[in-house]
Amino acid sequence: IPSTFSEEGTTGMGSIVVILATDAPLLPHQCQRLAQRASIGIARTGGGTEDSSGDVFLAFATGNQDLPPADYARKDLPQSTPLRMLNNDHISPLFAAAAEAVEEAIVNVLLAGEDMRTEDGRLVPALKGERLLAALRETGWPGR
């Protein structure tokens, strides 16, 4: 079986960590659903599905901050506390916003890079906006 590894090592898709935050009143299972939408933004910018990719998506919500603090010493507290949650009938725009935010963050970070030199002195130029836009449009990226 021929080796798939080169002398210089292998290149893979890399990994990405996405953290989505919202002040919407979401419950944990809704945050999980929101985090899953990060993959849409990654796919829109050409992210792949290779085995070497180690992606992590996290989402949290701060919309229930008015909850009383735990006070285990008090026995007169109610056994339950009401929570607010975004009705699932209204969550789709939040999913779309999450995908768009991830897409925009990836494009922004690609354009934020600067020229740099490798250890052996080779120049690695920064990615120019025109070149990125042309590459994205070549793949069918709709852009905004």
Catalytically annotated residues: 15, 53, 55
pTM of the model: 0.78
End-to-end CA distance of the chain: 46
Q: What are phi and psi of 33, to 5 degrees?
A: -65, -40
Task: Specify which residues 22 forms β-bridges with.
Answer: 61
Q: Which fold has domain 17-64+91-113?
A: arginine biosynthesis bifunctional protein fold (3.30.2330)
Q: Where are the domains of the chain?
A: 17-64+91-113
Give tens-digit pLDDT for 75-134: 887 888 888 999 999 999 999 999 999 999 999 999 999 999 999 999 999 999 999 888
Task: Summarize pLDDT for 119-133 with one digit per residue, the tens.
Answer: 999 999 999 999 988
Of the candidates 46, 57, 48, the one whose C-alpha atom is nearest the C-alpha of residue 18 is 57
